[in-house]
Amino acid sequence: MQATARRNIELSLLILALIVGAGAMALVALARDSEDVVEIAPYLVVLSVVYVAAHIAMRKLAKQGDHMILPLTAVLNILGLSAVYRLDASQYGPSQLTWTILGVALFVGTLAVVRDFRILARFKYILGFVGVGLLLLPLAPGIGATINGARLWVRAGPLSFQPGELAKLCLVIFFAAYLAERKELLAIASRRVAGLHFPDIKHFGPLLVMWGISLSVMFFEKDLGSSLLFFSIFIVMLYMATARIAYVVVGGGLFAVGAMIGYTVFTHVQDRVSVWFNVFDPKLVNDEGFQLAQSLFALATGGLFGTGLGQGQPQRIPEAHTDFIFSVIGEELGLVGTTAVLLCFILLIARGLRAALQSRDDFGQLLAAGLISIFALQSFIILGGVTRLLPLTGITLPFMSYGGSSLLSNYILMALLVRISDQTTSEPDPAHTAEILVGGRR
């Protein structure tokens, strides 16, 4: 497909996304007060200008980039913004709009700075150390903050952010570069056990290191969700690089051991598992299980078509703007609305996997697959928690939940996927990859 055709399709889809988002915002404002419709007009104008500007930047910076990523991101982000605005129009709504503007600016900035994604492989060890440092930064005395029982936040004056959101990008880049260099060595199997081909024990070293880091996150930061997320992405990328199911089996066993230790040591983990199994127990439903119970009631109330935007009672769910934004959508847009949102997530994941499959070098394949895998895992974990498929973890839903850290990091993630798809399409000569990775010398 020609570059102009790609961008024209993107513009058409983006206009459709803006119409859907603007309609959702208008309905929410109308349900609150007829005067609010006039007040949100500047919001809609700013959003339209920001996304159209991003599209224009794509025409200049990534002519052959995937034409569906920006529209899908926009529709998810604006629907999330309308749900956040519906919950709190005075504080969370304007704040989330600001984060959205900054996120789109970072999206464009990443495309402008990272003109060749393969250059990132040169800085793999630096990015690896930075990623681990950011992951453990909340443990630093004086700046780390504990919120809702988890020490995931860093405070700098009036501002607070989750460094783990940026850490996941750094670590995925490091994993991709490291595994691209060593995948043949790690894939060598020296013995066969129970029908599985097992590599030498020494090749399980990286897996043990990541297990130790994930346990540190779980025990010291008291967050099972982030621990599961980071360790899972390494196992997934290790399997994609080597095609050895033995790494998945051993990694799953290691995490099961760590999870059992965490369950034994931490009472809040025991409470979450207890709520997961017995959310409607009279002893829990009005205490630890109240949040999840209200989420399930909201989804049930929504039925097939929902109560209508602004017509439900999602404020009954504690912290609905962060952990349970999907329940707000479910109550007010019903099964039809939640299915549409899920399809948007599935399409985004499919476009990311498409970029990985079409990439012509190992690093590009692993980077695209790793980035979209961590996006998919994060989405699955939080959606599973909200619907009681999994225990609650407190992870935010990408592009929809309130919060700047997640929004900014996910916009950078999508920009990297666009860059990979752009280079894959516009550079048919695979020899260029070798030239870049060795610093200009073949």
- Going by their DSSP bridges, the two strands 150-156 and 159-161 should be labelled as antiparallel
Residue type at position 313: Q
Q: Which residue has the higher pLDDT, 269 or 300?
A: 300
Residue 145: its H or E element:
strand 144-147
Q: What is the mean pLDDT of residues 338-356?
A: 95
**Environment class of residue 397 by beta-carbon count within 10 Å: exposed (0-12), middle (13-18) or buried (19+)?**
buried
Identify any residues that bridge with 199 across adjacent strands, giving them in sequence order.
189
Q: For 382-423, how does the pLDDT look when each residue is reduced to its tens digit (9 = 90+)?
A: 999 899 888 887 778 999 999 888 999 999 999 999 999 999
Report the alpha-carbon distance of residue 40 to residue 74 in Å, rounded: 17
Q: For 375-393, how does the pLDDT look when each residue is reduced to its tens digit (9 = 90+)?
A: 999 999 899 989 988 888 7
Q: Is the pLDDT of residue 434 over 60?
A: no
pTM of the model: 0.91
Q: For 312-333, how does the pLDDT look when each residue is reduced to its tens digit (9 = 90+)?
A: 888 888 888 888 999 999 999 9
Q: For 86-123, how does the pLDDT look when each residue is reduced to its tens digit (9 = 90+)?
A: 888 788 888 999 999 999 999 999 999 999 999 999 99
Could you tell me where the DSSP H helices lie in 359-403? Answer: 362-386
